Amino acid sequence: MKTINQLLAMKEQKEKISMITAYDYPSAKQAEQAEIDTILVGDSLGMVVLGYDSTVEVTMEDMIHHTKAVRRGAPETYIIVDVPFGAVGIDHSTDMKNAVRLYKDTKANAVKIEGPHVTLIEGCTQIGVPVVSHLGLTPQSVGIMGYKLQAGSRAEAEQLIADAKAVEQAGAVMLVLEAIPSDLAEVISEQLTIPVIGIGAGKGTDGQVLVYHDLLNYGSEHIAKFVKQYGDFSNGVEALKLYNQEVKSGAFPSEAHTYKKKVMGETGK
Ligand code: KIV
Ligand code: NA
């Protein structure tokens, strides 16, 4: 299993980090066989596996149930579990209790929290719960932001840079950036010490994440621009290996899988 220090070293050595979602025993087993660096038990679970309309309906019990299965399938892979909507952002002690429960009950290596919850990240870090932060498009806020490119103006880009620095400062061990201009994602990846994993954020990040069902064309209803399909379940391990190779070589994401918008300008760096 990769440790957080090994993942940090990969960033330093400019070795790209691969991440795939998994929600059950067989998908986790395939990810581990394909030697993907990290698995995310995303709350996308709710949409791609459970048939919910959005991730808002996903419960703590859903996440715990599925993450336990993923751990059984991938005992040797670094696993991150999503904190579902409503489990944090209430009050500090409720938030902490839920983060701790998710970490402890699932044997995940880290919990992922959407949004710049700096105080919560500090609290978790202080007691030893590793937090992966998730900024940019945060699907739990679909009712406010919709599903579209985020940080498309210079002012929003500057705010995102500030938030990214704040979550790193608070102790986040990694950052996921979703659906933002690729030049902005590159700047943030350069300015942070922690690994930055992108989805719909171009090739300038320290790693890439895709949703398992999108990558394998397994019942996905809406395929976003940034998704690349590599095969289907029958050749799942091969498809995941190819994805892994393309992340490492930088072949994925290509221009075709990247938003064209630039936000930082010539002097952006
Ligand atoms: O739930 C999920 O799958 C995610 C990734 C898309 C980053 O949060
Ligand atoms: Na998620």
The secondary structure of 91-136 as a DSSP string is -HHHHHHHHHHHHHHH--SEEEEES--HHHHHHHHHHT--EEEEEE
| Cα distances (angstroms) measured from residue 125 to each of 47, 86, 167, 170 | 30, 20, 11, 8
Q: Answer yes or no: is 263 within a domain.
A: no
Active-site residue 238, yes or no? no
> Residue 128 domain-assigned?
yes
Q: Which pLDDT does position 112 carry in this prediction?
A: 98
Shortest-distance atom of ligand 1 to CA 178:
7
Q: Please give the Cα distance from 269 to 184 (Å, whole number).
A: 9
Q: Examine residue 171 and state whether it is found in any structural domain, yes or no.
A: yes
Query: Among 27, 52, 82, which is best to mutate for testing ligand 1, by the most ligand atoms less than 8 A from CB?
Result: 82
pLDDT of residue 267: 58
Q: Is residue 265 part of a domain?
A: no
- Ligand 1 pocket mutation, candidates 17, 19, 21, 212, criterion most atoms within 8 A of CB: 21
At position 40, the amino acid (one-letter code) is L
pLDDT confidence of residue 40:
99
Which residues line ion ligand 2, judged by CB < 5 Å? Answer: 42-43, 82
Q: Are 62 and 84 in contact (CB under 8 A)?
A: yes
Ligand number nearest CA of 142 is 2
The 10s digit of each residue's pLDDT in 69-112 is 999 999 999 999 999 999 999 999 999 999 999 999 999 999 99
d(CA 191, CA 175): 12
CA distance 243 to 245: 5
Q: How many domains does the chain have?
A: 1
Choose one of 27, 38, 199, 213 to mutate for the ligand 1 pocket test, by most ligand atoms within 8 angstroms of C-beta. 199
Domain boundaries, position 245: 4-257
Residue 267 forms part of a structural domain: no
Q: Does some domain include residue 264?
A: no
Going from the Cα of 139 to the center of ligand 2, the distance in angstroms, rounded, reads 7
| Beta bridge partners of residue 40, listed in sequence order | 21, 80
- Ligand 2 centre distance from Cα of residue 226 (Å): 16
Choose, from 32, 156, 158, 178, the residue flagged as catalytic. Answer: 178
Pocket lining for ligand 1, CB < 6 angstroms: 21, 40, 42-44, 82, 134, 176, 178, 199, 209, 211
Can you say which residues are annotated as belonging to the binding site for 3-methyl-2-oxobutanoate? 43-44, 82, 112
CA of 112 to the centre of ligand 2 (A): 8
The CATH code of the domain that includes 78 is 3.20.20.60
| 173 within domain boundaries | yes
Q: Find how far residue 165's CA is from the centre of its chain.
A: 17
Tell me whether residue 190 is exposed, middle or buried, using C-beta atoms within 10 angstroms of its C-beta: 0 to 12, 13 to 18, 19 or more: exposed
Q: Averaged in consecutive runs of 10 residues, what is the pLDDT profile of the chain (269 residues)?
A: 97 98 97 98 97 96 98 98 97 98 98 98 98 98 95 98 98 98 98 98 98 92 88 89 97 95 77
Q: How far is the CA of 265 from the centre of ligand 1 (A)?
A: 28
What are the φ and ψ backbone dihedral angles of 177, each rounded to 5 degrees? Answer: -115, 125
Residues sharing a CB contact under 8 Å with residue 51, sequence separation 6 or more, in sequence order: none
Q: Let me know if residue 250 belongs to a domain.
A: yes
Q: What is the pLDDT of residue 186?
A: 98
By CB atoms closer than 10 A (0-12, 13-18, 19+), residue 210 is buried
Sorted by sequence, the CB contacts under 8 Å of residue 93 that are 6+ apart come out as none
Q: Report the candidate in 93, 147, 137, 144 with the shortest Cα–Cα distance to residue 115.
A: 137
